[in-house]
Structure 1
């Protein structure tokens, strides 16, 4: 066999044509080797025959017997009923879908071996649509290993999938060298890892005495080896990306202290110790000729925007431009207003670019960015469109980065490369990322944490209230606004449709306006024009509106210190991190603040647990850990937007203890067997390997 046998397309296997290949492709199976890594969900024990007399309802079992009758029963549903005896008792097999040929197979006296779940039926115990085969002799051997049940897709049966995987296992047995282990023997021994081929053989064909409990929980040593290898491949891929980016030259930004000092003197507040520590880490990175790759995490209200502004000033003082990208028009526009206000006294021009900016205004802004007049560009995804050119981009700042796709972030980096430089990258998030995710999804980034809130921030008290107590909540708003404070009412809908969300928000605004005629009620949602949204936010900030009804568009970046009450309708429909972000819109001033979670009963146990976490803590990192546990990494990070390659076997919550072994193993592998990393990346990321993490 040639070295590439297991790398061949699945169509080289017996019985796999284009139609079958298309079905396998839906399971991310393209090559023969992919079949080996398509692991069972669970197992059935078909290694022993169960006497009919000992069968119990709900039990899955293998039964051997002789056909004593086979009749078509005409009832509400026509069925074929086959009666089977084994000397200890009689069992019925019932088929609702059958052919005349199938009926003829079950002639009296024929020996049948079948497998299925016994259930109570009209004739006693019955098995519906069992898997079966006709036996030529009564003593045919049973299975010698547990039977795997695989994830499958429409039109692909378990027996067919098992047959294909059996072919792949045979190919591996005949030519083991075609699937290299990927982790050299010396490293495997040092890290106490079982051998790859033995793990695959065991998982596809476990012995009858295998520990089913550990296999079911994903904690069997063979599964742990594969989970570790998958996490390792992801980390190696990110480390490679980092090394590749860091071979490019970046502008060393060594000046900036004077400009930063002038900026700080005009701020009405002092930086916290945590902000100063993070700024020192950023400054050291920016002073080198190697591109900075740094992720700054800071809980809601910890002051990340000021940190970003200080980093931008270091770039501007070094004769470079800085760009800041945010995921929503509302947040981008708020950053633009803040930065313009802060930078105007310093003589720095801040430009604004969004998809809604049209005509001459857009052309003028693009020209000013291209010739360098705009030293600080702020915007949405419009910043990285092909027709936007920078004169000398030295720093790319991405806010709420998990909302952006990989290619979007890569495009902003390439804006600098066009000028012969790779810009430094500063990535910010107010969604605290659990350590497990940071170690796996962001292994290419250095991590800074702003773990201190500015003085004067008051903890927000959170209560959960059923929606039948809505009148009490409205009274609470009347009372708070009557004392000169302001409130938010956030509408959430289970539908993804923005139009429906806006309708719900409009209906809520109308109802509250009618119930609270003495209050000025405003409305903001995603379908309003940027100018309209800005006008509403300005009115709310200026105190002209008492109550702001909004969709989740206000989740990030909105800062109104006088707002002390937040009502979140249907909070059970949102993730913990999103609820935490919304709650962070209040408690920004010195007044005691409250968040009311107005839920629709009855709550599931899962929803009760989530709302309980919100009541118990305001610690964003604790909330993020719980969010990861309850929703999984894809939901927490927004996998579909981020380009984070989905795990096939590893589970970041279950396998988080493995991450402590992954980092030293990745380091050792890159130092001692660098070629092996390519094998692992190709095996686990396949075609995604080239683009995963290229940011």
Structure 2
């Protein structure tokens, strides 16, 4: 461990136990942590601005003599201090002031002031500026470098952070950190040493390009970004190496897969056949498969997963498929039972909606090995669930869970050093940069071909005032014998949001369309009621299904050709794309109508435009990531796996591939350096290789 990483902040002057607690809220525990806590802007306190040349909204340093200081009474009491430097006069206003301030700010006192110039009641004013009083007639020397402004928290002031950073920079000079990136890479990219980069970022000179420092394009920032990205890639590769160090059962008999393919009323696409072959190659070696299958809505990922399951079952092993919602899990259960029951393979069900007795019975049969396959939700990785011989885990929509939940399910099949194979599915196309960061420990397969006969879905965006026209369109679709979805963003009316609620919309549409059977589904319904209503819609007994976004994934009704989304401006691009994918699953032409409330924000306009322009899930995912950023795109479950301190996935996308190459080299040729990098950047992740 480096000297800087070994030094706790409690050893710095001015940090007591209470201060250390507050700094810990910012993730700051050591001097090294502090040095990687970068400014988000800089203030120029290196030069003095004449008062006579001040303009509103400037952040400046001025010096002058106090002409008068009086307590002003009005709507709010304030201390008003008038300052002059011979070129002009300006006021300093303090709404909160102490007796000591009032005593010090007297006529004749000499001050240096820093703050923002604003237009006020007496002309130009500074509100609660920072200031220093001259001792005798002497003011301290001006700053030689720009003044950093740091992210902070309650009880930790800028002055405190700057004081601690000065001490940290002194230690940095005394104990320069080891440069862990290859010198050849630093030279070719013209990147500074780590010490030079940190000094530049915490104490830039007045003529340094501040905009480059703040936007991340300066070599000093790029130096830290590259090192952090390499560390994250090392974490992924170490985790992968740790998992690959285990053994796994070998599955080579594909007779059940051929029986399934022969029973299907359609032919697999070339992409499906290619991905099944990739999976079969993984399963044929005694090393755990770690494979992500990406496929756009309706591309046939579930059938690919079924082929993998059949190879494991044929070898006498059990299979567990986990989905994030009960509705999606139910859809998988329906599909797998439809395909596997004719092959005399039982598929069990395990979810929160089961009665305690049903759950106990299913768990007992799984533990005894009586059931070859189970489909379920989070209930699958609960402690009470055990398997006799788990050989394959299938996780759908992995980004809704998280790496550790995937691994928790894997552990249920561990026998000594042997672990199950893992197959991860997602219908949310993942931008390449994000996939490298989030799924760097997985091999990736892409089903990039839709089944034949699928036509593009025509999409149009209409203001909410056109609702009657849309209702007429729903009626016309029903008269032609097809079905429609009407999706709402809320379940109940809310004063805070103007969104149409599903229950109110259902009532309105039943009244507007008295000759149609209109069903309602939302997340607060009992699972049994939800399943019954969905089944009626699937059987064609209802022409219109009003639903919340619970139907986002997994619902498959080929006869549905019209999707209406109310308040479409409230949804992210990926969610809009997933919902649109509920139609266009049969042979006929399908349509999607995006109803929106005005006025639209710039982002909402961009989203709706992208939806109209393309049906390409990968392009939509890229645009969605660009608009929302990785944190919001992934949701809270997964962001811990992307906890970059300095790197920005969108801004620094171009560095991801070079970082992966450097990580590969370090892991194979310089393992000690690789370990040091992981320890420096991934706190608590030193055991990655053991998971």
The answer to whether the 8 Å contact 2:283/2:289 transfers is yes
Q: Which residue pairs with 2:6 in the alignment?
A: 7
Q: Which residue pairs with 2:159 in the alignment?
A: 159
Q: Cα deviations across residues 604-650 of structure 1 (Å, max 9, x unaligned)? A: 11111111111111100000000110001112222434642321111
Q: Secondary structure at the match of 1:632?
A: helix
Matches within 5 A, 1:309-458: 309-418=306-415, 421-458=418-455
The counterpart of 1:656, out of the listed 634, 653, 658, is 653
Q: CA deviation at 1:561?
A: 0.6
Q: C-alpha separation between the residues in 2 aligned to 1:229 and 1:355?
A: 44
1:638 and 2:635 are equivalent in the alignment: yes
The counterpart of 1:239, out of the listed 230, 234, 237, is 237
Q: CA deviation at 1:187?
A: 4.7
Q: Which residue pairs with 1:188 in the alignment?
A: 186
Matches within 5 A, 1:110-129: 110-129=109-128
Q: CA deviation at 1:317?
A: 1.5
Q: Secondary structure at the match of 1:652?
A: coil
Moved over 6 A (4+): 494-497, 500-503
Q: Which residue pairs with 2:60 in the alignment?
A: 61
Q: Cα deviations across residues 174-202 of structure 1 (Å, max 9, x unaligned)? A: 222xx322224355335543210110110
Q: C-alpha separation between the residues in 1 aligned to 2:611 and 2:76?
A: 51
Q: Secondary structure at the match of 2:510?
A: helix
The answer to whether the 8 Å contact 2:489/2:499 transfers is no
Matches within 5 A, 1:591-602: 591-602=588-599
Q: Which residue pairs with 1:298 in the alignment?
A: 295
Q: CA deviation at 1:337?
A: 1.3
The answer to whether the 8 Å contact 1:502/1:525 transfers is no
The answer to whether the 8 Å contact 1:404/1:642 transfers is no
Q: Cα deviations across residues 345-376 of structure 1 (Å, max 9, x unaligned)? A: 21111111112212332222112211222111
Q: CA deviation at 1:338?
A: 1.0
Q: Secondary structure at the match of 2:424?
A: strand
1:221 and 2:219 are equivalent in the alignment: yes
The answer to whether the 8 Å contact 1:494/1:573 transfers is no
Q: C-alpha separation between the residues in 1 aligned to 2:61 and 2:498?
A: 53
Q: Cα deviations across residues 531-552 of structure 1 (Å, max 9, x unaligned)? A: 2222111111110001001111
Q: Which residue pairs with 2:278 in the alignment?
A: 281
Q: Which residue pairs with 2:85 in the alignment?
A: 86
Q: CA deviation at 1:382?
A: 0.9
Q: Secondary structure at the match of 1:634?
A: helix
The answer to whether the 8 Å contact 1:639/1:646 transfers is no
The answer to whether the 8 Å contact 1:343/1:349 transfers is yes
1:72 and 2:71 are equivalent in the alignment: yes
Q: Which residue pairs with 1:97 in the alignment?
A: 96
Q: C-alpha separation between the residues in 2 aligned to 1:289 and 1:642?
A: 32
The answer to whether the 8 Å contact 2:246/2:417 transfers is no
Q: CA deviation at 1:104?
A: 1.0
Q: CA deviation at 1:9?
A: 2.6
Q: CA deviation at 1:526?
A: 1.2
Q: Which residue pairs with 1:41 in the alignment?
A: 40
Q: C-alpha separation between the residues in 2 aligned to 1:624 and 1:496?
A: 31
Q: C-alpha separation between the residues in 1 aligned to 2:680 and 2:636?
A: 20
Q: C-alpha separation between the residues in 2 aligned to 1:427 and 1:496?
A: 37
Unaligned runs of 5+ in 2: none
1:666 and 2:671 are equivalent in the alignment: no
Q: CA deviation at 1:60?
A: 1.0
The counterpart of 1:474, out of the listed 466, 471, 474, is 471
With 416-425 and 587-596 compared, the bigger mean Cα shift is at 416-425
Q: Which residue pairs with 1:26 in the alignment?
A: 25
Q: Cα deviations across residues 29-58 of structure 1 (Å, max 9, x unaligned)? A: 122211101101111111111111111111
Q: C-alpha separation between the residues in 2 aligned to 1:494 and 1:220?
A: 48
Q: C-alpha separation between the residues in 1 aligned to 2:565 and 2:599?
A: 17
With 265-274 and 665-674 compared, the bigger mean Cα shift is at 665-674
Q: C-alpha separation between the residues in 1 aligned to 2:563 and 2:2?
A: 63
Q: C-alpha separation between the residues in 2 aligned to 1:495 and 1:515?
A: 20
Q: Secondary structure at the match of 1:253?
A: coil
Q: Cα deviations across residues 205-228 of structure 1 (Å, max 9, x unaligned)? A: 001101022122221111111111
Across the aligned residues of Structure 1 and Structure 2, the Cα RMSD in angstroms comes to: 2.0
TM-score by length of 1: 0.96
Aligned CA distance change for structure 1 residues 654 and 496 (closer, same or farther; 3 Å):
farther
The answer to whether the 8 Å contact 1:6/1:171 transfers is no
Q: CA deviation at 1:501?
A: 12
Q: Secondary structure at the match of 1:559?
A: coil
Alignment size in residue pairs? 688
Q: Which residue pairs with 2:210 in the alignment?
A: 212
Q: C-alpha separation between the residues in 2 aligned to 1:408 and 1:48?
A: 55
The answer to whether the 8 Å contact 2:3/2:175 transfers is no
Q: Secondary structure at the match of 1:669?
A: helix
Q: Which residue pairs with 2:672 in the alignment?
A: 675
Aligned CA distance change for structure 1 residues 495 and 578 (closer, same or farther; 3 Å):
farther
The answer to whether the 8 Å contact 1:522/1:547 transfers is yes
Q: CA deviation at 1:496?
A: 13
Q: CA deviation at 1:334?
A: 1.1
Q: C-alpha separation between the residues in 2 aligned to 1:40 and 1:493?
A: 40
Q: CA deviation at 1:513?
A: 0.8
The answer to whether the 8 Å contact 1:394/1:421 transfers is no
Q: CA deviation at 1:20?
A: 1.9
